[in-house]
Amino acid sequence: MSVRVRYAPSPTGSPHVGNIRTALFNHLFAKRHGGTHIVRIEDTDRARYVEGCEEEIFESLVYVGVEWQEGPDKGGDYGPYRQSERKEAGIYRPHIDTLLESGAAYWAFDTSEELAEMREYQQINKQPIGYYGGVWRDAPASKAEEARSSGLPGVIRLKIPRDETIVIDDAIRGRVEISSNQVDDPVLIKADGMPTYHFAAMVDDHLMGITHVFRGEEWISSAPKHLVLIRALGWEPPVFVHVPVIKGKDGSKLSKRHGDTSCLDFRRGGYLGGALANFIALIGWSPGGDREVMTMDEMAEAFDIDGIQPSPGVFDLDKLNWLNGHTIRQCDTGDLAREVGEFCSTQENLDYWRAKDAPTAQAMGLLASTSAADPGYVAKAVALEQERVTNLAEFATACSFFFVDAPEMDQKAVDKWLGKPHVAEMLDEFAAFFQGKESTTIEECEGLLRDYQAKAGLEKLGPVVHPVRVALTGKTVGPGLFELMALLGPARIVARLSAAKRAYE
């Protein structure tokens, strides 16, 4: 039988990286086995539904490179792929009927107050908390019928058997046993008529022919409910793969407090989708041995459930930064320049940075407008920074001195280098050299400065290089000086050299 897996997000918020990692595992697994990956939207909770969220889900998937073959956007033979639509289509009804008929499920009409009271009682009496029956579990059918016809709002619950050991065969952890007395009767159909996750997901997984269910570890304790349900319907359970959670630095579940966690925020932040995917896959999964840096295809080829760890991992931004920088360095320079230009001109990214770090947003705007006017110039600037940048947004700040008329001067750098006795004269000499020239080359610039060094009898190149760098870029760090000068060109060199001299006097 061919592998069919599914990523089944709930549109209740922009998917975060842990969530997308589950999608990634699904994709990797499907690809590895030549199977099918389907996306199903689990929108059964109308109260928590977030408008526009579905688009963000798909955008996130595309961003990290997760592919799927069936879904609400692509169709397929097992649709519809939104649970709300499946409910409308009456897909769940026959199954709830068979459950009701066989007595595996029952109507319950407890009010929320009664339920709260019950939990409170259980709490103080140190009993397991949950719905273990009440009056409805074993009430005669006539009583439930009566309540229904009187118009009472009710739910349908699954009747969990007593005194049984339920065995979950988790693909990562192995055999997990839970006493059925520990599991309470879950609601299958809510009072509003919508199915709950417990019911809808199991029915859909079966109907869609899902063979392996990858889901978060937090589901492991409700797996017994799912098994009882599947059994009551006379179906074969899929293979359950409960993947470990991703934690923040402090050990708690990754959340907003830990900074960016939404997948799309990483895109806005300037991280390459491929790098994020690679990094995220490595939290909890390893191909074995020392392999780490991989493309999506390489990961798919190496992917294996045995390589998934049972223990949770911490999201380490430092390592993501390294990996992102590493993949930036591997990029074809032309492609990269195009990507940086596009990144900096995307409104969404600009908005993100405006809120996070305004100067960066400003630099991005500058890069974008320069790129529109002179893409070649920007591409060369990007190439010069490729080795020293860790994310796309950083190109903007690192390159900004190329694009402004007068770079912002770092006062400390100015004080350190422009005040030296020989500097004013030296800068004058260089300015005079470039005056009126059309263009220059790396070799010419290098020759000029080295000649000066020899002529002045300086032991090191530093005293000539550093002041020039500060005068030209305003900073003490950056690409090779000669490369940078060649790109800047004579006109800009002359203007900056004289401006720097003036500014210091």
Partner RNA sequence: GCCCCGGUGGAGUAGCGGUUAACUCGUCACUCUUUCACAGUGAAGAUCGCGGGUUCGAAUCCCGUCCGGGGUACCA
Positions annotated as catalytic residues are 256
Q: Is 327 in the site for RNA (CB under 7 A)?
A: no
DSSP for 249-311, please give it. TTSSBP-GGGS--BHHHHHHHT--HHHHHHHHHTTTB--STT-----HHHHHHH--GGGB-SS
Nearer to RNA, 231 or 450 (CB): 450
| The pair of three-digit structure tokens given for residue 263, joined into one six-digit string | 């997948």
Q: Is 311 in the site for RNA (CB under 7 A)?
A: yes
| The pair of three-digit structure tokens given for residue 32, joined into one six-digit string | 């590895």
> What's the closest the beta carbon of residue 196 comes to RNA, in angstroms?
4
CA pair distance 503, 192, nearest whole angstrom = 73
Nearer to RNA, 126 or 455 (CB): 126
> What's the closest the beta carbon of residue 329 comes to RNA, in angstroms?
6
Q: Is 133 in the site for RNA (CB under 7 A)?
A: no
Of positions 171, 230, 461, 491, contacts RNA by CB under 7 A: 461
> What's the closest the beta carbon of residue 154 comes to RNA, in angstroms?
7
| The pair of three-digit structure tokens given for residue 313, joined into one six-digit string | 């991992």
Q: Is 197 in the site for RNA (CB under 7 A)?
A: yes
> What's the closest the beta carbon of residue 423 comes to RNA, in angstroms?
15
Q: Is 257 in the site for RNA (CB under 7 A)?
A: no
CA pair distance 352, 486, nearest whole angstrom = 34
Of positions 51, 101, 163, 177, contacts RNA by CB under 7 A: 177
Of positions 91, 100, 139, 176, contacts RNA by CB under 7 A: 176
CA pair distance 68, 37, nearest whole angstrom = 5
Contact (Cβ atoms closer than 8 angstroms) between residue 381 and residue 418 = no
| The pair of three-digit structure tokens given for residue 177, joined into one six-digit string | 């046993």
Nearer to RNA, 156 or 337 (CB): 156
Of positions 179, 333, 435, 441, contacts RNA by CB under 7 A: 179
CA pair distance 259, 254, nearest whole angstrom = 9
Of positions 295, 480, 495, 499, contacts RNA by CB under 7 A: 480
Identify which range of 61-69, 98-106, 214-222, 361-369 contacts RNA by CB under 7 A. Answer: 214-222
Beta strand 155-158 pairing with 187-189: antiparallel
Of positions 482, 486, 490, 492, contacts RNA by CB under 7 A: 482
Of positions 257, 455, 460, 502, contacts RNA by CB under 7 A: 460
Nearer to RNA, 52 or 174 (CB): 174
DSSP H helical segments within 36-151, as ranges?
Answer: 53-64, 83-88, 93-102, 112-124, 141-149
Query: Within 332-391, which residues bind RNA (CB under 7 A)?
Result: 387-388
Q: Is 240 in the site for RNA (CB under 7 A)?
A: no
- Decide: residue 334, CB within 10 A, 0-12 exposed, 13-18 middle, 19+ buried: exposed
DSSP-derived letter for residue 161 is: P
Task: Compute how many other C-beta atoms are within 10 angstroms of the C-beta atom of residue 323.
Answer: 21
Nearer to RNA, 118 or 424 (CB): 118
Identify which range of 52-60, 98-106, 176-184, 366-374 contacts RNA by CB under 7 A. Answer: 176-184
DSSP for 358-390, please give it. HHHHHHHHHHHHHHHH-HHHHHHHHHHHGGG-S
Identify which range of 25-33, 204-212, 256-264, 312-320 contacts RNA by CB under 7 A. Answer: 312-320
Nearer to RNA, 187 or 210 (CB): 187
Nearer to RNA, 191 or 372 (CB): 191
Question: Whose CA is closest to 282, among 252, 255, 319, 241?
Answer: 319
Of positions 192, 298, 408, 415, contacts RNA by CB under 7 A: 192
Q: Is 44 in the site for RNA (CB under 7 A)?
A: yes
Q: Is 295 in the site for RNA (CB under 7 A)?
A: no
Q: Is 126 in the site for RNA (CB under 7 A)?
A: yes
Task: Compute how many other C-beta atoms are within 10 angstroms of the C-beta atom of residue 288.
Answer: 9
Nearer to RNA, 278 or 349 (CB): 278
